[in-house]
Amino acid sequence: MVKLTHLDEYGQARMVDVTGKTPTIREAVVRGKVVMKPETLALVEGGKIPKGDVYGTARIAGIMAAKETGRLIPMCHSLALTGIDISFQSNHDRGEVVIEGKVKTVGRTGVEMEALTAVSVAALTIYDMCKAIDRDMILTDIRLMSKRGGKSGTYSREE
């Protein structure tokens, strides 16, 4: 049976003590999608969404969210992040925007939650900025693609 590190010997929730762990370079890459009408995507890419620059705003929102993850997710450590990159790739035929977030730190615990939070909030921001035009949008497929660093080593999703 797997021992859950977020529970103490009495089954009570706790923040994992990482004091004794050696700091290492940590990196996580997460991807997610926003699916919208192709016409909506054309407006986004043409800079014609009334609320402004969708990708620029979503990028800033994702970066800000990654930095706040420890305040949003119970038992998640507050980390000194050393790098956050968020990028967008569109598929016009399918009306899809793929969001990729890469988060880095040198620390005692991983940055998967920060990368997941960054991509989730970037997707929510895209939805918020476009909802007046397209309420049928779908936020989907938010998933860890890879992580490296720490005792558990490297993980890479096979797709």
Question: For the segment 30-80, what is each residue's pLDDT rounded down to a tens digit?
Answer: 999 999 999 999 999 999 999 999 999 999 999 999 999 999 998 899 999
Largest CA distance in the chain: 56
Confirm whether 114 is domain-assigned.
yes
Q: What is the pLDDT of residues 130-158, one digit of tens each?
A: 999 999 999 999 999 999 998 888 999 99
Q: Give the residue numbers spanning the domain of 137.
A: 24-150
pLDDT score for 29: 98
Confirm whether 142 is domain-assigned.
yes
Confirm whether 159 is domain-assigned.
no
> Tokens representing 15?
């923040």
Confirm whether 128 is a catalytic residue. yes
Higher per-residue pLDDT: 13 or 145: 145
Confirm whether 28 is domain-assigned.
yes
Confirm whether 14 is domain-assigned.
no
Give the CA angle between residues 12, 18, 19 to the nearest 5°. Answer: 120
Confirm whether 102 is domain-assigned.
yes
In angstroms, the Cα distances linking 153 to 28, 31, 46 are 12, 20, 42
Calculate helix-pair angle for 112-130, 54-67, nearest 10 degrees. Answer: 150
* pLDDT class of 3 with cuts at 50, 70, 90: low
Number of domains, the chain: 1
Confirm whether 133 is domain-assigned.
yes
CATH of the domain at 39: 3.30.70.640
Confirm whether 19 is domain-assigned.
no
Give me the residue label for tokens 């706790």: 14
Catalytic entry in 8, 17, 93, 128: 128
